[in-house]
Amino acid sequence: MRHIFAVIFSGVLFATAPVRAGTVLDFWHDYTPPQTDEKHHGFHLANYKRGLFFGSCGISTRSLQWGFTCDLAGDGPVYEAGKLTLTGEDLKPIKIVAGRITIDGKQTTAVITLEVEQAGRTNQFIGNGTYRIKPLK
């Protein structure tokens, strides 16, 4: 009986969970550090795999494949390589060689076109693309 309940509960959990697979740009927020008085925008860019996963925190319907935190300095809407920082999930900075991030006027869409240095080589950033911005609530 206990196994049947677990299977039914897992099915209900999986069916009612929000579907957020793929690459998501979320936690968009603005801030102004008092040290510089320059406006900043920050966000998290992450790619998720959809399914039923069992981890240390229990059952989940998505699994993080990769993620980055980005900080944009200035008013924009175009942020060149020198005006942005990129950090991996391990909190280590990623060296940006070239490119830009462009934010539309209503802050609803971001276009990322970056080249980054990885293991001594310049590569296209895995997160390049066009994304809908999900603000921090």
For 47-83, the pLDDT digits (tens) are 988 878 777 887 877 777 899 999 999 988 999 999 9
pLDDT in the model for residue 118: 86
**Nearest to residue 30, comparing CAs of 22, 21, 40, 18?**
40
Number of structural domains (the chain) is 1
The list of the chain residues with pLDDT below 70 reads 1-21
pLDDT in the model for residue 15: 45
Q: Is residue 88 part of a domain?
A: yes
Question: How does strand 58-73 pair with strand 84-88?
Answer: antiparallel
Q: Which domain holds residue 50?
A: 19-135
26 Cβ neighbours under 8 A, 6+ residues apart:
43, 44, 46, 134, 136
pLDDT in the model for residue 14: 44
- The pTM of the full predicted model, rounded to 2 decimals, is 0.77
Q: Is residue 60 part of a domain?
A: yes
Half-sphere exposure of 35 (CA within 13 A, CB side): 0
